[in-house]
Amino acid sequence: MAKPDEPGYYKQEDLLSVDLQPPRTGWMDTGVDFKPGSFIYPGKAKNLDILDLPNAREWAVTDIDWQLPEGWQKTILDGMAERLGKYRSFKLFMDTCVRCGACADKCHFFIGSGDPKNMPVLRAELLRSIYRKDFTALGKVFGKMAGGRKLTEEVIKEWFYYFYQCTECRRCSVFCPFGIDTAEITMMGRELLGLLGLYVNWVIEPVANCYTFGNHLAIQPHGLVDTLEFMVGDIEEATGIKVDLPINKKGAEILFFTPSGDFVAAPGIYTCMAYMVLFHELGIDYTWSTYASDGGNFGLFTSHEMMKRLNAKIYSEAKRLGVKWILGGECGHMWRVINQYMDTMNGPADFLEIPKSMVTGTVFERASSTKVVHIMEFLADIIHHKKLKLDPSRNDHINVTYHDSCNPARAMGIFEEPRYVIKSVCNNFHEMPENTIREKTFCCGGGAGLGTDENMEIRLRGGLPRGNAVRYVQEEFGVNQLAAMCAIDRAVLPTVCDYWAPGVQVTGICELVANATVMKGENDRSIDLRLEPIPGRAADENDEPRGSSDDE
Ligand code: SF4
Ligand code: SF4
């Protein structure tokens, strides 16, 4: 019998019959129902202690008493006042909304759940109502009549529930005539909750791991070396070539970093292997780092201060190793941090050079401030200059579609490069419907630290719009793979696809490129980087995939 943290617990027909009938009570008077599958467990005291965060204690979301610290209302209101003074966007977003409703049906969580408080406009009202009551003259005098309400423990519980049902994907902001970014309101909500020691463990444990080990997954330096060496072995099995593995190499031209999720779990590990294949084939002078061992930054889902601290290791390692510039791998939120915050937060990185491809000579002016280039920009340029020998027919068994990961799409506007790269290495490509891609892309449902199984119902509901679009191209065009350039996508979308579009696999983009790359001195390439036979190329199609049996 499946449990609430397993997809099998939820019948599709139940999730599809979304109840759009609003509750009988007004939204301010409707409490939160913490039922299994709809929330994430709280941050453990040991993790808060590591980070020196306040009010570390063991507690459960379903407790009646959340053990809030003495004077907690003042803490929150002081915290709001400080942030209203510090972040102009926050003040603007608190004052501006005209409740036109254009954003209301644009959030994947509202589409999948029908819960009115998952409408971006109402999610923001959870915070805005407190702002009105305590920071505006009208609210102070007229209270509820002016849309204000008192800060109670119930409000805090509601914040915790709904600010951890927002993946900070920013889809709603695309449709708002004022550009109100509800993701930023969620970020503020989470920061304020943090002042009371209210975190989810799925976010705060990776952050604590970063403090201790440099990466979310607590991989120790020698563990990372072992992992990468293991991948080198698998690459050799697939290609016949032993690729270089430069680690902590001083004086390398490039520091390369990527999210740690790609070191440990499929399908991300194949993306990681693909980087090594491509860098080897292109003869790039690069290095991995066991200190800057995570491009991912769950600080973004915690507080601005935490995001800044976790990100600092990247520039500091670039300086220590004496590299010229930095190249970043396939990640989502990492690119929001780099593209929108890194320069002012951790920069200026004047000790680095404006990135210039050592293969083509192209200068990446876009990265002249941050000095960090996205792997897709880099690869698109390489492919455009025909510096890789490609055989797209190796991917002919793949019928692929592309999921624009929220952050690279909406925070960077990287729409064309991944499509150009995919189409250069795959003969069969089909887009999902227009209102589900590019800047209107739908979230995987597990970003911003929501990718745990504890909230499986919410993940499946939030993944419905994306899953539905995948199902459409599966049925219409026979699509069997979904490419995504984000580690969280690679971790979360397999569940979404298995549930809403079974039969569709998830892949990174570099994996497709590496499989199509004809390497100098390679073997017959009858198996791919997953060590699975490539249809039409395996000597005996009935053979067991290599590497799948004896060595277990
Ligand atoms: S679209 Fe913008 S202005 Fe309209 S309700 Fe949503 S947040 Fe408010
Ligand atoms: S940022 Fe994304 S998850 Fe959050 S309210 Fe907007 S659409 Fe929903």
Compute the distance from residue 405 Cα to the ligand 1 centre, in Å. 23
Give the C-alpha distances (Å, rounded to integers) separating 66 from 72, 153, 159, 198, 537: 11, 9, 13, 9, 60
Q: Tell me, yes or no, whether 193 and 221 share the same domain.
A: no
Domains in the chain: how many in total? Answer: 3
- Is residue 333 situated within a structural domain? yes
- Which of 106, 115, 182, 488 for a ligand 2 pocket mutation test, highest count of atoms within 8 Å of Cβ? 182
Query: Of the candidates 384, 401, 416, which is a domain's last residue?
Result: 384
pLDDT at 541: 52
Nearest residue (by CA) to ligand 1, atom 6, is: 103
Query: Of the candidates 384, 405, 431, which is a domain's last residue?
Result: 384
Range of the domain at 143: 7-199
Compute the distance from residue 107 Cα to the ligand 2 centre, in Å. 5
Q: Tell me, yes or no, whether 188 and 215 share the same domain.
A: no
Compute the distance from residue 397 Cα to the ligand 2 centre, in Å. 35
Nearest residue (by CA) to ligand 1, atom 3, is: 97
Q: Tell me, yes or no, whether 237 and 254 share the same domain.
A: yes
Quick: pLDDT tens for 447-465.
999 999 999 999 999 999 9
Q: Tell me, yes or no, whether 120 and 226 share the same domain.
A: no
Q: Tell me, yes or no, whether 294 and 158 share the same domain.
A: no
Compute the distance from residue 498 Cα to the ligand 1 centre, in Å. 34
Q: Tell me, yes or no, whether 62 and 116 share the same domain.
A: yes
Enumerate residues 6+ apart whose C-beta is below 8 A from 301: 168, 187, 190, 203, 333, 448, 449
CB within 6 Å of ligand 2 — which residues?
Answer: 106-107, 109, 120, 123, 166-172, 182-183, 186, 443
What is 243-299 written as a DSSP string? ----BS-TT-SEEEE--THHHHSTTHHHHHHHHHHHHHHHT--EEB-SSS-----GG
- Is residue 426 situated within a structural domain? yes
Give the C-alpha distances (Å, rounded to integers) separating 215 from 106, 249, 339, 345, 496: 33, 19, 20, 19, 26
Q: Tell me, yes or no, whether 231 and 192 share the same domain.
A: no
Distance, CA of 243 to chain centre: 29
Q: Tell me, yes or no, whether 346 and 429 share the same domain.
A: no
CA distance 472 to 435: 13
What number of other Cβ atoms are within 10 A of residue 31's Cβ? Answer: 11
CA distance 268 to 432: 22
Nearest residue (by CA) to ligand 1, atom 1, is: 176
- Is residue 54 situated within a structural domain? yes
CA distance 358 to 39: 48
pLDDT at 539: 62
Say if residue 484's pLDDT is above 90.
Answer: yes
Give the mean model confidence (pLDDT) for residues 315-335: 97
- List beta partners, residue 508: none
- Is residue 2 situated within a structural domain? no
Query: Of the candidates 157, 174, 199, which is a domain's last residue?
Result: 199
pLDDT at 540: 53
Q: Tell me, yes or no, whether 115 and 234 share the same domain.
A: no
pLDDT category at 548 given cuts 50, 70, 90 is very low
pLDDT category at 509 given cuts 50, 70, 90 is very high
pLDDT at 551: 38
CB within 6 Å of ligand 1 — which residues?
Answer: 97-103, 120-121, 176, 178, 180
Nearest to 248 by CA among 262, 228, 232: 228
Enumerate residues 6+ apart whose C-beta is below 8 A from 92: none
Q: Tell me, yes or no, whether 187 and 260 share the same domain.
A: no
DSSP-derived letter for residue 438 is: G
CA distance 249 to 131: 51
Atom of ligand 1 nearest to the CA of 99: 5
pTM of the model: 0.94
Q: Tell me, yes or no, whether 187 and 295 share the same domain.
A: no
417: tokens are: 């490069």
Q: Tell me, yes or no, whether 140 and 224 share the same domain.
A: no
Peptide bond into 221 cis (omega under 30): no
pLDDT at 545: 44
pLDDT at 550: 39
- Is residue 304 situated within a structural domain? yes
- Is residue 1 situated within a structural domain? no
Atom of ligand 2 nearest to the CA of 110: 8
Atom of ligand 1 nearest to the CA of 98: 3
Compute the distance from residue 123 Cα to the ligand 2 centre, in Å. 9
